[in-house]
Amino acid sequence: MRDLSHDLGLLAINSATVKAWSLEQLVEGCARAGISAIAPWRDIVQAHGIDKAGKLIRDARLDVSCLCRGGMFPASDEAGRHAALDDNKRAVDEAVAIGARCLVLIAGGLPKGSKDLAGAHAQVRDGIAALLPHARAANMPLAIEPLHPMTAADRACVNTLAHANDLCDELGQGLGIALDVYHVWWDPDLPRQIARAGKRIITYHVCDWLVPTRDLVFDRGMPGDGVIDLRAIRAMVEATGYAGHCDVEIFSAQDWWKRDPAEVLQICVERHQSVV
Ligand code: ZN
């Protein structure tokens, strides 16, 4: 297992963690804090302008562990599915423009009014299959991120690492996995599925599970503040050969988003070195 206690080279800051910052502020803030990798969301990249964002990141010599995110495939009609595919192709192009190591995908949930979960699963599989030729041609790996089952209806109906592994088995080259501890820590099958995933894990997200959790989306904890055995999960992930970043991704409307982003970065650094 890698020693993170001295080297910040493996720390990436997800832009969701410092939501108040623009891309420019994130780049500057990371430079000031000695952090060499970021994981931006599409909104701040688009706000800056895609080409300008690529130049800004290259000039700062920052690594981009992933671009968050594409996906959201299921729709109630063909036009909706087509629009989703078009948007995902743009997301691939944006990931290429900023030099991201992969594009994170979340599945999407049930179309409005639908109770057809199996149909949604099929739409996700078909959506990724339709996107893969564009991603392969662009040499941009796709990383499906299984989300916690509480999100199955409205955000993502791929909820276990086993399901993500099945999709990789079925769809083949060009599709990997984004493993986010928040979404998978509870799964009794996790050790087996991480071993099964092997080299497919191409990006790794950390935060913590707070007790109690006050919001289904926006109450993630800083690593070390909750109940996830972060060291144990990282050990399993690194045993597969994972050599990428640990991307701190925290949605926290009531706590971390209210603090000074520069202070949040400092705490991310400390926790990266001591508990991740
Ligand atoms: Zn994540």
Domains of the chain: 8-274 (3.20.20.150)
Q: Tell me, what's the pLDDT at 183?
A: 98
What is the per-residue burial (b if ≥16 Cβ within 10 Å, else e) of 6-31? eebebbbbbbbbbbebebeebbebbe
| Distance from residue 67's CA to the centre of ligand 1 (Å) | 10
Q: Tell me, what's the pLDDT at 99?
A: 98
| Distance from residue 105's CA to the centre of ligand 1 (Å) | 10
| Distance from residue 212's CA to the centre of ligand 1 (Å) | 20
Q: What is the pLDDT along the chain (276 residues), one digit of tens a residue?
A: 999 998 899 999 999 999 999 999 999 999 999 999 999 999 999 999 999 999 999 999 999 999 999 999 999 999 999 999 999 999 999 999 999 999 999 999 999 999 999 999 999 999 999 999 999 999 999 999 999 999 999 999 999 999 999 999 999 999 999 999 999 999 999 999 999 999 999 999 999 999 999 999 999 999 999 999 999 999 999 999 999 999 999 999 999 999 999 999 999 999 999 999
| Distance from residue 205's CA to the centre of ligand 1 (Å) | 5
| Distance from residue 134's CA to the centre of ligand 1 (Å) | 23
| Distance from residue 207's CA to the centre of ligand 1 (Å) | 9
pTM over 0.95: yes
| Distance from residue 180's CA to the centre of ligand 1 (Å) | 5
DSSP track, 182-236: HHHTT-TTHHHHHHHHGGGEEEEEE-B--SS---SSSBPBPTTSSS--HHHHHHH
Q: Tell me, what's the pLDDT at 68?
A: 98
Q: Which H, E and C letters describe 168-195, residue by residue?
A: HHHHCCCEEEEEEHHHHCCCCCHHHHHH
